[in-house]
Chains A and B, each alone.
Chain A
Amino acid sequence: MREHPLFQITLARLREFYREPDAVFWVFGFPIVLAFALGIAFRNRGPGELNVGVQRGPGDSAVVSALAGGHDLRATVLDTAEGRQRLRTGRIAIFVVPGDPLVYRYDSTRTESRLARLEVNAAIQAARGRSDVVAVRDDRVVAPGSRYIDFLIPGLLGMNLLGSGIWGVGFTVVQARKNRLLKRFMATPMRRSHYLLGFILSRLLFLVLEVAALVGFGRLIFGVGVRGSLLTLTLVSVLGSLSFAGLGLLVASRARTIEAASGLMNLVMLPMWVLSGTFFSYARFPEAMQPFVKALPLTALNDALRAVMIDGAPLFGLGAPLAIVLLWGAVSFAVALRIFRWR
């Protein structure tokens, strides 16, 4: 077994990886640091207090006292110029100009401003005596899996599998080609399939660690659970990882220099980082872009990972996204093998 070429090739891959501290950080440390920073920054505390500006002048104190009766409103009396400047820079959500009629100045495309308008209006109308015509009662819940961090962790997992697949495989191949090591291997009876399988095997071994590190971190620090089965999560990750290894192989199949390969890798990865719903939902992109966005492998993988982690979806419920992931992997592998520059 130790003597088998596949074992030795995989072993060399693993050693080259874990003896490179930079690579270890980018694969394991970086996603955790990112998850930690974003998890802290976007804690679920609702929109918090809304800052409201009130224009200085007759009637300003009446407005301020009316706002004191509203929900989470913080009113500040400001001169006109100051108020407009703060509104423009987002330090206040709305600027109230007392008078008759009362004027609400705000940007209706900002969610926060629209919320502020509703709250401000309700407070002012209530202060002038408007009463509710329907009796209501609030029943507040915090739904598990609905926080930003719950959304983020599966996305980071997908992004990490993409990154380590493409960098891990692509860089090693191009470096071996540039150093003429690939040619040296070709001068031995080594089977090409063993060389490529070595990448797959080492990717799978790392994958277990990558998934465990990120999921474990989310669990420990932010209480992010996995509602589906761990086995399903692992299988989905394996498929994603294999698919991205194929993509990495394709990217590296011809390039002779690290520079050329880096350019190609960024070309492949950057659009997916932005479009594939890692940090925010891809539903925000216009309708016309949706078919394209949904056809990307990272989008499909992120959807599948979220379905498992957040919704507890079983494996057979993930046919559509997994089919996209598999197709990308299979086509990439097939093309890469055809055009691969071995010497």
Chain B
Amino acid sequence: MPAIHCAGLVKRYGDVVAVAGLDLTVETGECFGLLGPNGAGKTTTIEILEGLTIPDAGAVEVLGMHWDDGARGRALRERLGIQLQDTQLGDKLTVAETVALFRSFYRRKHSVDEVLGLVQLEEKRRARIGTLSGGQKQRLAIACALVNRPELLFLDEPTTGLDPQSRRQLWEIIGTFRAEGNTVLLTTHYMEEAERLCDRVAIMDHGRVIALGTPRQLIASLGAGHVVEFALADGVDTAALLPELEALAGVRSVRPAPDRVSLTVNEVHRTLPALMALVERRGAELSMLVTHHATLDDVFLALTGRQLRDA
């Protein structure tokens, strides 16, 4: 039985279609990522799965159960851990008091100390929430989600706005949770986070899934493992170069952007000398040259023609 299964989800807000017919299956024990730019419909989707938003159409099954407002819904909530985007917990309460409050809602649960240990907030147990840093607040939010020993954890943009160190701390917490065979569904717009954490990823845009697979499969779908990006000095017209670029050794595809040209390539060591020679022949000068392993960012760019960050 899959941990989550949904089919044909639709949600509209007035004229805006937030989710436009979405099918998804998350297997037990996997970490599944919903990936996409802001406004892609990730939050609406995850809140429908959490039973907090009622879809206009479609069926949802979570841990083999359907959502309702009564006893069955509550029984299901006993088994879920949920972290929402931008929840502000009461500033005047301390860390331990907040965890104790959430803890009281559940039957099967960790002790306050256990769960603070899981998120490494023991030394802050008496601190008021108003005095915590962004990363500490986020770890507290995760603590409130983990307090009932959930089988399935929903995380909505858990690391947005956090510094790199806090982000790594959260990744570790998620890793520990998964090591016990639990399931995670998270949304993010950080491709790096998805590559690092997720077994499978669904890339969303405009309320639909536009690609689904393991990060490795998705990157492999580009047909090449590397990306070379360059720009020419003094506004030399790169458009005229495009046919020649496509013919360069090892180049799979060429994508011009306003400030740069990006090449997807198989073998950097063959493409680069050829590119240099081409630039030399044209008498142009490079103002920028970058090469990197292809990432999910490049997959999104290839699928939508837009950068994920500014999409």
A residues touching B (Cβ–Cβ < 8 Å)? 3-5, 7-9, 11-12, 15-16, 19-20, 179-181, 183-191, 343
Contacts of A188 in B (CB 8 A): 77, 82, 102, 105-106, 148
Interface contact B87-A183, CB-CB below 8 Å: yes
Q: Is B52 an interface residue (CB 8 A)?
A: yes
Interface contact A16-B92, CB-CB below 8 Å: yes
Docked complex Cα distance between A188 and B73 (Å): 10
Contacts of A16 in B (CB 8 A): 90, 92-93
Contacts of A15 in B (CB 8 A): 92-93, 97
Q: Is B86 an interface residue (CB 8 A)?
A: yes
Docked complex Cα distance between A343 and B144 (Å): 18
**Interface residues of B, count at CB 8 A:** 30
Indicate whether A186 sits within 8 Å of B86 (C-beta atoms), given known contacts A9-B101, A16-B93, A20-B92.
no
Question: Which residues 91-136 of B have a CB within 8 angstroms of A?
Answer: 92-93, 97, 100-106, 128
Docked complex Cα distance between A2 and B137 (Å): 25
Known: A5-B105, A19-B92. 20 other contacts (CB 8 A): A3-B103, A3-B104, A11-B97, A11-B101, A12-B97, A15-B92, A16-B92, A16-B93, A19-B128, A180-B85, A180-B87, A181-B87, A183-B52, A184-B89, A187-B51, A189-B74, A190-B105, A191-B74, A343-B52, A343-B53
Docked complex Cα distance between A4 and B104 (Å): 6
Indicate whether A187 sits within 8 Å of B104 (C-beta atoms), given known contacts A16-B90, A179-B87, A181-B89.
no
Docked complex Cα distance between A230 and B276 (Å): 95
Interface contact A187-B82, CB-CB below 8 Å: yes
Interface contact B93-A12, CB-CB below 8 Å: yes
Indicate whether A187 sits within 8 Å of B97 (C-beta atoms), given known contacts A8-B104, A19-B92.
no
Docked complex Cα distance between A7 and B88 (Å): 22
Minimum-distance CB pairs A-B, first 10? A179-B88, A8-B104, A189-B74, A187-B82, A19-B92, A189-B77, A188-B105, A190-B105, A5-B104, A184-B87
Q: Is B50 an interface residue (CB 8 A)?
A: yes
B residues touching A (Cβ–Cβ < 8 Å)? 50-53, 74-75, 77-78, 80, 82, 84-90, 92-93, 97, 100-106, 128, 144, 148
Contacts of A179 in B (CB 8 A): 87-89
Smallest Cβ-Cβ distance to A6: which chain B residue:
B104
Smallest Cβ-Cβ distance to A186: which chain B residue:
B52
Interface contact A187-B106, CB-CB below 8 Å: no
Most buried by A among B97, B101, B104: B104
Docked complex Cα distance between A19 and B103 (Å): 22
Cβ distance B142 to chain A, nearest Cβ, rounded Å: 13
Smallest Cβ-Cβ distance to A4: which chain B residue:
B104
Docked complex Cα distance between A181 and B101 (Å): 12
Contacts of A3 in B (CB 8 A): 103-104
Docked complex Cα distance between A9 and B87 (Å): 17
Indicate whether A189 sits within 8 Å of B78 (C-beta atoms), given known contacts A180-B88, A184-B84.
yes
Smallest Cβ-Cβ distance to A7: which chain B residue:
B104
Docked complex Cα distance between A20 and B77 (Å): 32
Docked complex Cα distance between A16 and B50 (Å): 28
Indicate whether A12 sits within 8 Å of B82 (C-beta atoms), given known contacts A188-B106, A189-B106.
no
Cβ distance A26 to chain B, nearest Cβ, rounded Å: 16
Indicate whether A8 sits within 8 Å of B101 (C-beta atoms), given known contacts A188-B77, A189-B74, A189-B106.
yes
